[in-house]
Structure 1
Amino acid sequence: MSVVWKDGSEPEAVRVSPLGWLRAAIRGPAIVLVIVTGLVAMYVLRLVEKPLYGLRRPLTPWITQTVCRLSLAILGLKLTVTGRQMRAKGAVVANHASWLDIFVLNARKRVYFVSKAEVAGWPGINLLAKATGTVFIKRERREAGAQVALFRDRLAAGHKLLFFPEGTSTDSRRVLPFKTTLFAAFFDDALRDWMQVQPVTVIYRAPKGRDARFFGWWGAQDMGPHLLKVLAQWPQGSVELVYHEPVAVSEFADRKALAGYCEQAVRTPLDVEIAKGAL
């Protein structure tokens, strides 16, 4: 599995020392054990939760958060947070730099990712995605009505839906133009008047002495080598979540205006950090 976005540059070559291999051999199985244990616990708990609460999930998201926090702790990846999380019903939009985003964003906020329908057929990944309540959608115009109905039901149940509007992951040092297609559903009459959107910036700081794009997953990189590189690294880098002020969909004229605002909000902290030489 490779990443779509390319800018002509090449990521650093993956070179792992003997100690790095040892760290990966310890961390990898430990994270797998945490994920599998959480997955089993989640499926068992859903047997009770689903009949009692339906779409609402007051219990199982705590398992997701615990699994993600433990996984980051095993990796040694420090997570800090700036800003306040949205309490109102609505959606979250963030930049997408790496497969690590799933762990990072789930660790601090109870969110439900919106993913392309193909992911539902990926072995292994599909079990995790379904268990954690991922929303699968088909990116086709004829599915627009079904998407609105699905979003409405999930949002009404109190779910915070999380979108990656860039449509692909990057080198972690930039934000690509936000695709406006998914924003269109927010302007449906059933959602527009009460829905809010919170932009979130994910900022990765590379380990000392490594390429500033260390955590970015882009170009022709395969999942395996990138995963190995992160598992083997010591000392580890860090990541920061910047929660921006939520905005009401009704304040914007159309999807392009809303997407443009969110894109700028997400991009600004990254640009500031780069300008300071902090990244």
Structure 2
Amino acid sequence: MSAPWDSATHPPELTPGPGGWLRAIARGLPLAVLVFGCLLILLLVRLIERPFFGQRRPVTPYITQFVCRSAFALMGITYRTEGAVMDGPGAVVANHSSWLDIFALNARKRIYFVSKAEVAKWPGIGWLARATGTVFIQRDRREAAAQVAIFQDRLALGHKLLFFPEGTSTDGQRVLAFKPTLFAAFFAAGLRETLMIQPVSVVYHAPDGCDARFYGWWGDMDFGPHLLATLAARRQGSVTVIYHAPVQVADFADRKALARALETSVRDGVVRSLHP
């Protein structure tokens, strides 16, 4: 497992005043009702959906998508997208800056995250991940054949699988090198010939007057204080999700060349959006 990215300094922790607490409550309570209320509905629908459709999930992904779009509206964060979403099954790779990425990437198009197996055991988060169809994999070269089989099965169902090739989250102001080991499975027979991958840039713009890294969540930052600061903000910023042109794995000589090309597309999108 990769060590978390860190930097010498973090944005100062902000202690909300009375107004901040009121804003946090006014935003947080409806957000909690939305997330956990819809999770209950999703689980009930899955009781019917699973026996008839298995992993195909013709209904529940729309619940997840509705929650993610609505979450930004409740938090007051402006949500924008650019570019065309890839048609059909395939893989999606994006930079990773915040827990908000889950909402941002699910809001426009139905996707399924690929995560390390340990996440399935995390309290709360693991339950949510399993309920929404996350694909859990062992980050072990000895499991490579099993990973390919899992990817093939999910792609055959028409799923789009989302990967974070940086291996960790950052402050949102940079894109780390993509780890080429992730792409080795894509070159297996049966995937390389047909698999399309779409690079996506997720860019956060902080509220006016706030640290540019306001929405970034990385290193040893705690989730609770970061969530509170986000909900308590007097003004909110925005997030832009940029969809770049998909590429075909077969067009690249090896996993390193593929990783570099995807990394370049994602980084260019972040730089253009942050520094127009």
TM-score (norm 1): 0.95
Question: Secondary structure at the residue paired with 2:91?
Answer: strand
Q: Distance in 2 between matches of 1:10 and 1:63?
A: 35
Q: State the 1:126 CA deviation.
A: 1.2
The answer as to whether partners of 1:88 and 1:196 remain within 8 angstroms in 2 is no
Q: Distance in 2 between matches of 1:269 and 1:35?
A: 30
Question: Secondary structure at the residue paired with 1:55?
Answer: helix
- Determine the structure 2 residue equivalent to 1:157: 157
- Determine the structure 2 residue equivalent to 1:107: 107
- Determine the structure 2 residue equivalent to 1:10: 10
- Determine the structure 2 residue equivalent to 1:264: 264
The answer as to whether partners of 1:22 and 1:232 remain within 8 angstroms in 2 is yes
- Determine the structure 1 residue equivalent to 2:41: 41
For residues 89-138 of structure 1, give each alpha carbon's deviation from its aligned partner in whole angstroms, at most 9, with x where no partner exists. Answer: 21000000000000111111100000111110011111110110000111
- Determine the structure 2 residue equivalent to 1:199: 199
Q: Distance in 1 between matches of 2:238 and 2:274?
A: 15
- Determine the structure 1 residue equivalent to 2:94: 94
Identity level (%): 58
Question: Secondary structure at the residue paired with 2:268?
Answer: helix
Name structure 1 gaps, 5 residues minimum: none
- The more displaced of 196-205 and 18-27 is 18-27
- Determine the structure 1 residue equivalent to 2:242: 242
Q: CA RMSD in A?
A: 1.2
For residues 234-258 of structure 1, give each alpha carbon's deviation from its aligned partner in whole angstroms, at most 9, with x where no partner exists. Answer: 2110000100000111111111111
Q: Distance in 1 between matches of 2:188 and 2:160?
A: 17
Give 2:260's aligned amino acid. G
- Determine the structure 1 residue equivalent to 2:135: 135
The answer as to whether partners of 1:166 and 1:179 remain within 8 angstroms in 2 is yes
- Determine the structure 1 residue equivalent to 2:120: 120
Q: State the 1:23 CA deviation.
A: 1.1
Name structure 2 gaps, 5 residues minimum: none
Q: State the 1:144 CA deviation.
A: 0.6
Question: Secondary structure at the residue paired with 1:170?
Answer: coil
TM-score (norm 2): 0.96
Question: Secondary structure at the residue paired with 1:201?
Answer: strand
Q: State the 1:207 CA deviation.
A: 0.1
